[in-house]
């Protein structure tokens, strides 16, 4: 027998629209891992599309990623003045963060670089508790039910020692 206890944190938007939809717009100069969306406990950020523009005379390398302690890049590309960089992830290929990750941007040149990130924020199930399995040493001595009646009436009132 195994027991898994889960707590689900979902908002009304999660149930109706499969996540809180957002389009985050901002501007950065040369930065390293600047937060676009801060981390939210028990929430996952889903990126569905990106758009970048710049007025820089040189090419600007733009990187988008999810960050907890390290950054996991999900998109990297160059943007030029007069030529926007637009990318939409195909359906089913959206980029999902781990629960509690932030969405960050990094650029390698002064811009400014203007960004728009499209996506959703969804509630995630977070495991809480334990999984019980036969022979686990942490459960020795726990109460149980006798497989057969042993003849002692006390065993019917609270189990038997494992």
Residue spans per domain, the chain: 6-127
Question: For 90, which DSSP code?
Answer: P
**Residues 6-127, CATH architecture:** Sandwich (2.60)
93 dihedral zone (left: phi>0; alpha: psi -120 to 50; beta): alpha
For 2, the token pair is 């195994």
Q: What is the pLDDT of residues 128-159, one digit of tens each?
A: 555 555 555 555 555 555 555 555 555 445 55
Cα angle, residue 42 at apex, residues 36 and 47 outer, rounded to 5°: 40
What's the pLDDT tens digit per position in 35-78? 898 877 778 888 999 999 998 888 899 999 999 888 889 999 99
Check: pTM over 0.75? Answer yes or no: no
Of 3-12, 69-78, 120-129, the range with the lowest mean pLDDT is 3-12
Express each pLDDT in 76-98 by its tens digit: 999 988 888 999 988 778 888 88
Which residue, 36, 107, 31, 28, is CA-closest to 67?
A: 36
Q: Assess whether pLDDT exceeds 90 at residue 118.
A: yes
């Amino acid at each position: 027998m195994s027991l898994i206890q889960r707590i689900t944190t979902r908002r009304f938007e999660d149930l109706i629209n499969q996540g809180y939809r957002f389009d985050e717009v901002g501007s950065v100069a040369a930065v390293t891992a600047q937060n676009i969306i801060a981390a939210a406990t028990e929430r996952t950020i889903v990126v569905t599309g990106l758009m970048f523009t710049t007025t820089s005379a040189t090419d600007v390398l733009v990187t988008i990623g999810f960050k907890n302690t390290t950054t996991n890049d999900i998109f990297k590309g160059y943007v030029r003045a007069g030529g926007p960089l637009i990318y939409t992830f195909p359906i089913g290929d959206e980029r999902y963060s781990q629960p509690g990750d932030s969405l960050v941007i990094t650029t390698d040149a002064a811009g400014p670089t203007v960004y728009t990130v499209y996506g959703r924020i969804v509630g995630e199930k977070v495991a809480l508790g334990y999984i019980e399995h036969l022979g686990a040493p942490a459960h020795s001595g726990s109460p149980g039910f006798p497989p057969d009646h042993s003849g002692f009436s006390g065993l019917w009132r609270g189990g038997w020692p494992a």
